[in-house]
Amino acid sequence: MPSEIPAGAAALAAAAKAAAVKAMARVVGKPAESFKLNAAKPENPSLCPGCGERRDPGAIAKALKTCPHCGFHYRMEPAERLAYLADPGSFEEFSANLSSLNPIDLAGYEEKLSAAAEKARMKDAVITGICSIEGRKAVLALMSFEFMGGSMGSVVGEKVSRAMLRGLEEKLPVVIYTTSGGARMQEGIFSLLQMAKTSSAAAELDKAGIPFFTVLCDPTTGGVTASFAMLADITMAEPGALIGFAGPRVIEGTIRQALPAGFQRAEFQQERGFVDLIVRRQDQRHIIARLIDLHQPGCIPAESPEERS
Ligand SMILES: [Zn+2]
């Protein structure tokens, strides 16, 4: 919260956020506890990592790439997300032509970029645009893990910042789906600087009172977690998503202690206050539309009977 906001306004904003989160928790179909998953990678790739049932690709695709038995959320790419999030034909991409240079002259980086572009069929690890979600206009940014592990280099930082500034300019809510291994090592210090750039764009949104929502997807780690992913007004996560800065193996190796079950999973992070809501893929479209409504000026979420008592 910026220092110029008086304490009363900050308390009011915190209360409004708490009310919105409570209101949304009632809209989300299932309690978060139902999605506690066995995070261990399956020995057999034809079995579901969540419940061990045999994978049925047809049924999984029909359930938006989730397991029809246990709700395990498989990773998704931006094109697949667009298909279930945005109203049909509403997505208009911007900043589509930005592509990365090789700012620190790293040998082989250009080749890596072209291989990644071919694999993910994108120019870099994020797409940005304006779309409508259940009829509500919003700026939407979707990250890809297929493109060099969703790493944030200068293009990702620039596109994410431009998306936020576009929201500011057009007074549109900004929704960002994150998935990332962190800063892109191949661009050295230039990648690290994107943390400051995206964070200052998020601060501009905050100052102007433009709603900003993130949905943290598996995995969201490193410099993306440590910058814009955690700066939203409402931080959502997909069930079972790994969310952290350093990964569990690095932490275990450093502290030489066994980590608790479910460490850094969305449910673990929600219990510790890093995540506001865990939202199933099937509910995301509706929840985002409701959140946009709840953040319109003058909208006060209705209190539930138990809150009044
Ligand atoms: Zn399953």
- φ, ψ (nearest 5 deg) of residue 218: -75, 125
Cα(259) to ligand 1 centroid in Å equals 24
180: domain CATH number is 3.90.226.10
CB 140 within 8 A of CB 129: yes
Please give the order of strands across the beta sheet that includes 92-94.
Answer: 92-94, 126-133, 136-143, 174-180, 212-220, 234-237, 277-278
Q: What is the pLDDT of residues 80-131, one digit of tens each?
A: 999 999 999 999 999 999 999 999 999 999 999 999 999 999 999 999 999 9
Q: What is the pLDDT of residues 236-268, one digit of tens each?
A: 999 999 999 998 889 999 999 999 999 999 999
Inside any domain, residue 2:
no
Cα(38) to ligand 1 centroid in Å equals 9
Inside any domain, residue 32:
no
Count of the separate structural domains present in the chain: 1
CB 200 within 8 A of CB 238: no
Residue 208: which domain range?
76-308
End-to-end CA distance of the chain: 30
Cα(64) to ligand 1 centroid in Å equals 13
pLDDT above 60 for 10:
yes
Inside any domain, residue 48:
no
CB 166 within 8 A of CB 130: yes
Inside any domain, residue 22:
no
Inside any domain, residue 57:
no
Cα(270) to ligand 1 centroid in Å equals 22
Inside any domain, residue 3:
no
Inside any domain, residue 54:
no
pLDDT of residue 15: 73
Cα(263) to ligand 1 centroid in Å equals 20
Cα(115) to ligand 1 centroid in Å equals 32
